[in-house]
Amino acid sequence: MIVKSYELNKINLKKNNIYLLYGENEGLKNKVINDTFKEFLKNTYRYDEKEILNNKENFFNTILSKSFFETKKIIMILRSSDKIVNIIEEILEKITEDTKIILLAGILEKKSKLRLLFEKNKNTICIPFYADNNQTLGSIANSYFKEKKIPISRETINILVARSRGDRLNLNNEITKIENFTKNKKKINISDILKLTNLAENYSVTELVDCCLAKNSTKTINILNENNYSTEDCILIIKTFLMKAKRLNKLQNQTKDNKNIDQVITSFKPPIFWKDKDIVKEQIKNWSLKKIENLIYKINEIELLIKKNSKNSINILFDFIITQSNKTNN
């Protein structure tokens, strides 16, 4: 059953036991999970899809096992894809009321088997999470700063929103930095925002990732050197990397049927901004379908690695980016 994110306040999600949350808006996904399943979160089990595929029995044991001390539990399946459809079909009839299963996925195509399974089954919930528009993000930021009595101009909020790239998780991360910063300073201005977000005025995380995927190692290294990235920025960078790699994967799939790269880029949905078309064309030329699929797998591995090694996350990520930007690595 499909439920739009704006309909969430109108229905009781807890009546169901299994959910698919897909799309690029990680911040809104987190908010929905935290607001809806508070009493379940004390007993949370997290699985990567790959773990379940490699050891289905262990996953089933987690679902079916009961404990005297554990009345309610939630199981999250990260990086879900069509590969797990058969396993999900197996457990649909086995889930009890005190267990909630949430599958988390990025962008899923309309023809995705996983998406179709959840959309058509009346006992499952399928929620798409699209990117927030700037107006929504601006309202979130403005309300938060007003509540915390942090003086900040509308222009400064607009810059903060632009750097969030349509994801309230990014916005929330930056708001936290600002809140901590203002404990020792009464007012925050645009120059403070530029420093706090660790991005030079001429470059963004998007440009860093685009240059890397275009195999422009010189500019990639220049951007890394000119920006004072922090540990907090690593997750934002790797998520942007994953989003761009998945888009490149879709573009490569479309070039199999249509060899005219310009035509593929022009007709691509969501639309590619005109000024980005040349660099996207370069990316398509530099990455075969097999290599981009391998890259997506590596990005997921790097994300887990930097989360486990936060103190060394910048070095891990920078080594990865520099390696991928080198043409000899392809």
Are residues 159 and 256 both part of a single domain? no
- What global pTM score does this model have? 0.55
- Asked if residues 302 and 312 have their Cβ atoms less than 8 Å apart, the reply is no
Are residues 261 and 216 both part of a single domain? yes
Domain boundary among 75, 103, 128: 128
Are residues 12 and 122 both part of a single domain? yes
Between CA 231 and CA 217 the distance in angstroms is 22
* Burial category of 208 from C-beta neighbours within 10 Å (exposed 0-12, middle 13-18, buried 19 and up): buried
Are residues 122 and 142 both part of a single domain? no
Rounded to the nearest 5°, which phi and psi values hold at 96?
-95, 165
| Model pLDDT for residues 85-119, shown as the tens digit of each residue | 999 999 987 887 888 999 999 889 889 999 999 99
Are residues 98 and 56 both part of a single domain? yes
- pLDDT attached to residue 69: 64
- pLDDT attached to residue 155: 80
Are residues 162 and 118 both part of a single domain? no
| Model pLDDT for residues 298-326, shown as the tens digit of each residue | 999 999 998 888 888 888 999 999 999 98
Measured on CA atoms in the order 58, 59, 63, 64, is the torsion positive or negative? Answer: negative
Are residues 106 and 163 both part of a single domain? no
Are residues 120 and 190 both part of a single domain? no
Q: How much of the chain exceeds pLDDT 70, in percent?
A: 92
Query: What letter would DSSP give residue 2?
Result: B
Residue 306 belongs to what domain range? 205-329
Q: At what angle do helices 168-181 and 26-36 cross, to 10 degrees?
A: 80
Query: What letter would DSSP give residue 132?
Result: P
| Model pLDDT for residues 160-213, shown as the tens digit of each residue | 887 776 677 778 878 887 887 777 666 677 667 766 664 434 356 888 999 999
CATH number at residue 165: 1.10.8
Are residues 88 and 162 both part of a single domain? no
- pLDDT attached to residue 98: 84
Query: What letter would DSSP give residue 105?
Result: E
Are residues 209 and 325 both part of a single domain? yes
| The two three-digit tokens of residue 199, written as one number | 């991005």
Q: How many domains does the chain have?
A: 3
The SS3 of residue 125 is strand
Is the bond into 271 cis (omega within 30 degrees of 0)?
Answer: no
- pLDDT attached to residue 64: 82
Are residues 119 and 52 both part of a single domain? yes
CATH number at residue 89: 3.40.50.300
Element (H, E) at 174: helix 168-181
Rounded to the nearest 5°, which phi and psi values hold at 198?
55, 35
Query: What letter would DSSP give residue 312?
Result: G
Are residues 209 and 324 both part of a single domain? yes
Least confident of 11-25, 55-69, 130-144: 55-69
Least confident of 133-137, 155-159, 220-224, 312-316: 155-159
- Most confident option among 23-27, 169-173, 238-242, 306-310: 238-242
Neighbours of 126 (CB within 10 A): 22
**E strands present in 119-273:** 124-128
Q: What is the chain's mean pLDDT, rounded? A: 85
